[in-house]
Structure formats: structure tokens, C-alpha cells
Amino acid sequence: MTDSKNYYAVIMAGGVGSRFWPMSTSTYPKQFHDILGVGQSLIQRTYQRINDLVPSNNILIATNESYEKLVLEQLPKVKKNQLLLEPAMRNTAPCILYAALKIYNQNPNAVILVAPSDHWIDDEAEFTKNIQTSFDACSKEDILMTLGIQPDTPNTGYGYIKFEKGASEIKKVKNFTEKPNLETAEKFLNSGDYLWNAGIFIWSAKSILKAFKKSLPEMVTVLDDGNNVYNSDFEDDFIRTNYSKCQNISIDFGIMEKAKNVHVLPVDFGWNDLGTWGSLYNKLEKDNTQNAVVGAQTIFRDANGNMVRTQSGKKVIIQGLSNFIIVEKDDVLLICPRKDEQDIKQITTDVREEFGDDFV
């Protein structure tokens, strides 16, 4: 077992979660909400889960400058120097490179977990065990690892990972496929050679920096000044000046799809990416007419399959409505068929044009 002082984590908390509008807005995105009504926000839950294995001082939070106050309020153990504040939206690759350079400067033997702040995991003990397995492997070998979720439906909203079958617990990755169409997703599911890409990564600081130098050398030139600027008083200014010069590219496209040393650990810990109201609906308990409710006190009459989320205690009576999303927040009410949930991202654009930025 590797030494836990070498364990680091980067929690990615910069997204807006626009498919969760009107609850998730650009001033208060979904990772800071208690979406499931469990008494903790998603980022608090994520932090606590990771803190079971990774020491508090070694957990970094990557987020947008505008969420600094929210992060520090919700995660009292986190100090200001553990925040990676992105001055511009540049997708995941630059952010992960920034984190890797900062961590490597502190500890060249670090192994790093990169995890989204807004996913839900049922079996946290199993998750910890899987991360331990991954840390052990990455501290011994020059590999880039990801966790792969056993697919149970031909979901077209996720990326897929094809792996090589073999006796070993950790599998070599053959390739990544971005969100497939339904026919392709059904083929993937039936073949048994594919996993969902959960966007949870593990690697050593050395291995990921080596991969960046190979695949995105110009980004390394921008962010690595060679003067040990990281963890010094000059770090903030350096990032403010240089970060926006980075290419806007995801870690998947920029690194993982090109690298030859990618491995996957198939996992089964009750994962839900909580990407849409529908994914929340699937996660929640339903009544005997398949209605799911958070916050509201409800009466359903001849109504089934609805997802209702309101402020606490709001009384909602629904008659003759089936398979709808009904969400109330402050002075906004959204009513949308569940089957059209992917349109909510587009709806927020219309809302911005009609009612202004304050509502999105």
C-alpha cells in the first residue's frame, strides 16, 4: 500500500449544470445544492467521500473564480491555497495540467484522483476500495487510469470505453467512443466489452505530466514557467495572465484518446452522474404511481411518472399530468415533459434572451 501522504485529489467544481435549470444557475450551480434532499450538497458529499482516503490538506478544488466564496463556505476544511481558481472557462485539460504542476511542485511522488463534484455514489466504501486499488497501480506503473461503470442500459448520454478482456482486475483500454446513437449503444451493451466513462481519473503526477508533454506540449509551455511559480505568492498572477492562453480542450480529447497507456478499472458502486432531471428521477424513491418528489407536499390525482422539486413544504396538487418535470425555484417555474429534458439547456438560452441573465 502506498503512503497516504502521497495521495492527492482534485475535485472539479467549475461547471454550471445548465440541464438542472432552474435550480442550477450560473451564480449558484448544482454542485452547491442539496439536490437529493439528504442534508448535504453534492460537493460536500464528494469531499467527504474522498477525505476518507486522501488527507484534507491534499484535496484541491478546481473551480471558477466566481465560486470561491461558495466553496470556502461549504467546505470549511479547505484553505484558500487549495483552490485552483480558473480565470476563464477552458474545459478540463488546462485545469488538470494546472493541478498536476501545482501538486508535482509539492510532491513529485504524488498519485492523483480527479473527480467531478456533482456525481452521486451509493456505496462509498466500495468507491474508496476502488480508488485504493487505482492508487496502488498508478504508484507502481506509468499508466493513466479511469473508472468504468458497468452499463445497464444503452444510454446515449455517456461516453463508452472499450477494454481488452483478461484475467487482471485492471483492464487495458482499446478506445474511447463519444456519446453513441441508440443502435450503437445497444451493440456496445450486448458485446460486454464496453463500460461507461465516469470521468473519474487516477494517475501519478509524473505520468500525467509526461502525457501532457507528449500530446499537448504547447499547453505545457504556457503553464510551466520552470521557475517554481506554483505554491508561491506569484501563482495567482501567473495563472491570471497565462491560463486563458491555453487551448479549450477536454482531458478526454486532449490526452486520454491519444495515450497508449490508458487502463480502466470496472467498478460497481451505484454511480449516477446526476446530469439531468431524469437522472435524478431515476435515483429517487417513487410512490406507487411512479411520482418522485423533493421538497414539496403533494397530492397526485390521475397523475404518474412525474418529477416534482420545489422549495420545502410547498403544497403542489397535480391532476391528469404524466411523465413531466415540474420544478419551482424562487420566482421561476419550469414545466417540461421528461422525454424532452435535454432541451432544458436550450431553454436556458431562451430565458436569458427573454428575461435576462439574472434567472440563469
pLDDT tens string 275-332: 889 989 998 999 999 999 999 999 999 999 999 999 888 999 999 999 999 999 989 9
Q: CB of 275 within 8 A of CB of 159?
A: no
Where exactly are the structural domains of the chain? 4-272, 280-359
Cα–Cα distance for residue pair 347/360, rounded to 1 Å: 10
Which of 43-47, 121-125, 156-160 has the weakest average pLDDT? 156-160
Specify the CATH number of the domain 4-272: 3.90.550.10
Q: Let me know: does 49 contact 119? Beta carbons within 8 Å.
A: no
Q: Which residue carries 442500459 as its cell? A: 153
d(Cα 33, Cα 274) in Å, to the nearest integer? Answer: 12
In this prediction, residues 340-355 reach a mean pLDDT of: 92
Question: What is the rounded CA–CA span in Å between residue 198 and residue 11?
Answer: 14
pLDDT bracket for residue 273 (50, 70, 90): confident
Q: What is the dihedral of CA 155, 261, 135, 67, to 10 degrees?
A: -60
How many other C-beta atoms lie within 10 A of the C-beta of residue 322? 16
For 344, which DSSP code? H
Can you read off the three cell numbers belonging to residue 184?
Answer: 450503437
> What ranges in the chain are assigned the alpha helix state H?
42-51, 68-74, 92-106, 124-140, 182-191, 205-215, 217-223, 235-242, 251, 277-283, 344-355
Report the pLDDT averaged over residues 3-22. 91
* Burial (CB count within 10 angstroms: exposed 0-12, middle 13-18, buried 19+), residue 182: exposed
Find all residues with CB under 8 Å of 218, minimum gap 6, and list them.
Answer: 247
Report d(CA 225, CA 120) in Å as an integer.
Answer: 37
Q: Which pLDDT value is given to residue 317?
A: 97
Q: Position 179: which residue type?
A: K
| pLDDT (mean) for 175-187 | 88
Instruction: Provide the pLDDT for residue 275.
Output: 85
pLDDT number for residue 178: 85
Place of cell 448544482: 30
Residue 239's H or E segment, with its range, is helix 235-242
pLDDT in tens, 87-112: 988 899 999 999 999 999 999 999 99
Task: Give the type of residue at 294.
Answer: V
Alpha-carbon distances of 6 from 58, 208, 228, rounded to whole Å: 9, 15, 20
Q: In the structure grid, which three cell numbers stand for residue 172, read together?
A: 487495458
Mean pLDDT confidence for 53-65: 96
Euclidean distance between CA atoms 167 and 179, whole angstroms: 28
- Between 124-140 and 42-51, two packed helices, what is the crossing angle to 10 degrees? 60
Residue type, 12: M
Q: Quick one: average pLDDT of 11-16? A: 92
Contact (CB, 8 A) for 106 and 232: no
Q: Are 200 and 118 in contact (CB under 8 A)?
A: no
Q: What residues does 357 pair with on adjacent strands? A: none
- Between the alpha carbon of residue 78 and those of residues 72, 74, 103, 127, 246, the distances in Å are 6, 9, 16, 22, 27
- Please tell me whether the overall predicted TM-score, pTM, comes out greater than 0.85 for this model: yes
> 3-state class of 332 per DSSP?
strand
Residue with cell 446526476: 274
Average pLDDT in the chain:
93
Residue reference for cell 424513491: 285
